[in-house]
Amino acid sequence: MRRLLPGHRARYAPRMPTYANPRYAAPPPPPGDESRRVVVVGAGLVGLTLALDLARQGIAVTVLDDDDTVSTGSRAICFAKRTLEIYGRLGLGDRLRAKGVTWKTGRVFHRDQEAYAFDLLPEEGHEYPAFVNLQQYYVEEWLVEACVAAGVDLRWKHRVTGITPGADAVALAVESPGGAYTLRADWLLACDGARSPVREALGLPFTGQIFRDRFLIADVVIKGDVSFPTERWFWFDPPFHPGQSVLLHKQPDDVWRIDFQLGWDADPEAEKQPDRVIPRVRAMLGPEVPFELEWVSVYTFRCRRLEKFRHGRVIFAGDSAHQVSPFGARGGNGGVQDADNLAWKLAAVLRGDAPEALLDSYDAERVPATDENILNSTRSTDFITPKSDAARAWRDAVLELAQHHEFARPLVNSGRLSRPATLAGSPLNSADSGHWPAGALPGAPAPDAPVMRDGAADWLLRHLGGDFCLLVFDAVWSPTLPGLRLVFVTAEETPGALWDHSGLAAARYGAPPGGAVLVRPDQHIAARFAALDEASVSAAIDRAMGRSP
């Protein structure tokens, strides 16, 4: 991982400067041993998101990273709608949407024919699009700036060399430019990537599988007119790369990401050399299109995870906890959802608002979500890389049928794209109070909808999250429940309320007049009430905070 100078864009081959801005310089080495409430190891996408979320909730956070550069290349390029909503809550959503390339249409090709196209967000009335494509290093730069502004203690070139877990804290041996020291953390959050030193130090194995195939990523700068639209294009057995698959995405700054399937026998180091990459790109784009390489990498599909993500006072998030195929854009998005799920729970425990047992729900919710991602990634990989002649014949027949018959299109799998986890089996959910026939279920992320507030256009999700909110539909209520914020939604324009002028809010929640929805700090639904009842709402809050069975 490399942290570039703000505004710098990586180029293929030359050395990268360090993050030299003095605002981000590591603090002087401590005089001796230290104690911190929360230590995050790893200043990548997930670690910085988690640190920022905690800091915005008033929790002091120290981040250790053994480097001082942001990631190069596109890496986690596709930021899904749910991830954008999370970053919207953290104050970065508008920045991602403004800089990124917005898209919602995907096309699948078989040889030289289009098999079918799909729309990932066919309905209107959402603040954020289905996906935004944006190089990961931009988001990491912005997260660093936001963490600095929020008071996060960022320590570059501080490498963890030893870990001693205890019942009440974790002792870290750290090497820094100023010397070695010991750091005692009440809670250690391991966000240090797929090769996690924290995970290795604790001897925790991954379970799952590594698929016998390799893929080349080429970030290509193309100036001038390009015939490809702002869509996701996936080819099976194209004329320019026969027998394999290719994925194409557009990014900002005239950069296009191209993933070429190579096969298991390909030499990763040889395939990254320009004399191998350039002919592949030239065959795809044609001889008349000028381009240059910005970044090249080779990867292998991995669908693996830890058995559990919490190990006493050490909690894993992102790639240190799980790895999935990148074709479904689940890795970075899943890691950001890990951070979103964990931050409010840890903050509640540290404030004394919830028992430590609340953190067990992180495993109960994020492990099934990861298993869903792994299942979909495995299915995608099996379709993209058939394991036998019979499997390949079946796949090719599906692709041929998909060109003319709608029933075959759901069988095509070029990577099931990231969708938010619905935490249906969460122990924090409460059963519906009264009859609630439709709408988003407990455990689901709260749907967005356009609203009006005091005559100005607004969005519903801007008023949810960060604390427990009760979304009240067409009713007046004044409970005496501490720590609960009320958000009123009305069918008619009403002073001080959110006007559901389009009716989409009530429709997406399935809300009857006088009904209410309890929304958690991470914008997931905890409970639904067909009629307002203070005792029922109080019990649902206790359950969602882990204070009752």
Strand ranges (E), 105-176: 105-110, 113-119, 131-133, 153-156, 159-165, 170-176
Residue after which a domain boundary falls, among 340, 356, 371: 371
Burial pattern 164-200, b for ≥16 Cβ within 10 A else e, equals eeeeebbbbebebeeeebebbbbbbbbbbbeebbbbe
**CA atoms in the 13 A half-sphere facing the CB of 347:** 22
Same structural domain, 321 and 337: yes
Same domain, 535 and 482: yes
Q: Indicate the number of domains in the chain.
A: 3
Exposure letters 419-458 (e unless 16+ CB within 10 A, then b): bbbbbeebebbbeebeebeebbebbbbbbbbbbebeeeee
Question: Is there a single domain that holds both residue 185 and residue 226?
Answer: no
- 404, 67 Cβ separation under 8 angstroms: no
d(C-alpha 506, C-alpha 71), whole Å: 42
Q: Is residue 77 part of a domain?
A: yes
The domain boundary, picked from 302, 325, 351, lies at 302
CATH number, domain with residue 367: 3.50.50.60
434 belongs to a structural domain: no
Range of the domain at 242: 215-302
Residues 56 and 158 in one domain: yes
Query: If residue 276 lies in a helix (H) or strand (E), which one and from where to where?
Result: helix 274-285
Q: Are residues 43 and 186 in the same domain?
A: yes
Tell me whether residue 469 is in a domain.
yes
Q: Which residue has the tokens 């015939």?
A: 227
The reply to whether 36 and 134 lie within a common domain is yes
Closest listed residue to residue 328, CA positions, set 266, 413, 393: 413
Residues 199 and 227 in one domain: no
Secondary structure element (H or E) that encloses residue 83, with its range: helix 81-89
Give, rounded to a whole angstrom, the gap between the first and last alpha carbons of the chain: 42
Q: Residues 154, 177: one domain?
A: yes
- 480 burial via Cβ count (<10 Å: 0-12, 13-18, 19+): exposed
Whether residue 549 lies inside any domain: the answer is no
Q: Are residues 538 and 524 in the same domain?
A: yes
221 neighbors 285 (Cβ within 8 angstroms): no
CATH number at residue 493: 3.40.30.120
Same domain, 39 and 143: yes
> Would you say residue 12 lies in a domain?
no
Scanning the structure block, which residue is given the tokens 């919207």? 88
Q: Which residues contact 124 (CB under 8 A, 6 or more apart)?
A: none
Q: Amino acid identity of 188?
A: L
Q: Which tokens sit at 136? A: 């990961």
Q: Dihedral sign for Cα 531, 534, 539, 542, please.
A: positive
In eight-state DSSP terms, residue 17 is P
For residue 107, being part of any structural domain is answered with yes
Q: The CATH number of the domain where 221 resides is what?
A: 3.30.70.2450
Q: Which two tokens stand for residue 224?
A: 């001038």
Query: Looking up tokens 């293929």, which residue turns up?
Result: 12
Q: Cα angle at 65 between 200 and 325, to 5 degrees?
A: 60
What pTM was computed for the model?
Answer: 0.91
By CB atoms closer than 10 A (0-12, 13-18, 19+), residue 349 is buried
Long-range pairs, 408-411, Cβ under 8 A, ≥24: 409/115, 409/116, 409/118
Task: State whether 240 and 170 are in the same domain.
Answer: no
Residue 7 is assigned to a structural domain of this protein? no
- Site of tokens 């009842």: 533
**Residues whose CB falls within 8 Å of the CB of residue 547, separated by 6 or more in sequence, listed in order:** 354, 355
- Given the structure tokens 């109080």, which residue do they identify? 538
Provide the token pair at 118.
Answer: 């799909």
Q: Is 521 helix (H, G, I), strand (E, B) or coil?
A: coil
Domain boundary among 345, 371, 397: 371
Both 292 and 355 in one domain: the answer is: no
Per-residue tens of pLDDT for the chain, all 549 residues: 333 333 334 433 332 334 444 445 555 555 578 899 999 999 999 999 999 999 999 999 999 999 998 887 777 788 999 999 999 999 999 999 999 999 889 999 999 999 989 888 878 899 999 999 999 999 999 999 999 999 999 999 999 999 999 999 999 999 999 899 999 999 999 999 989 999 999 999 998 888 888 899 999 999 777 777 889 999 999 999 999 999 999 999 999 999 999 988 999 999 999 999 999 999 999 988 899 999 999 988 788 999 999 999 999 999 999 988 665 455 689 999 999 999 999 999 999 999 999 999 999 999 999 998 888 888 888 888 888 889 999 999 999 999 999 999 888 888 767 678 899 999 999 999 989 989 999 999 999 999 999 999 999 999 999 999 999 999 988 888 988 999 999 999 999 999 999 999 999 999 999 999 999 999 999 999 999 999 999 999 999 999 987
Indicate whether 378 belongs to any domain.
Answer: no
Structure tokens at 377: 């990634």
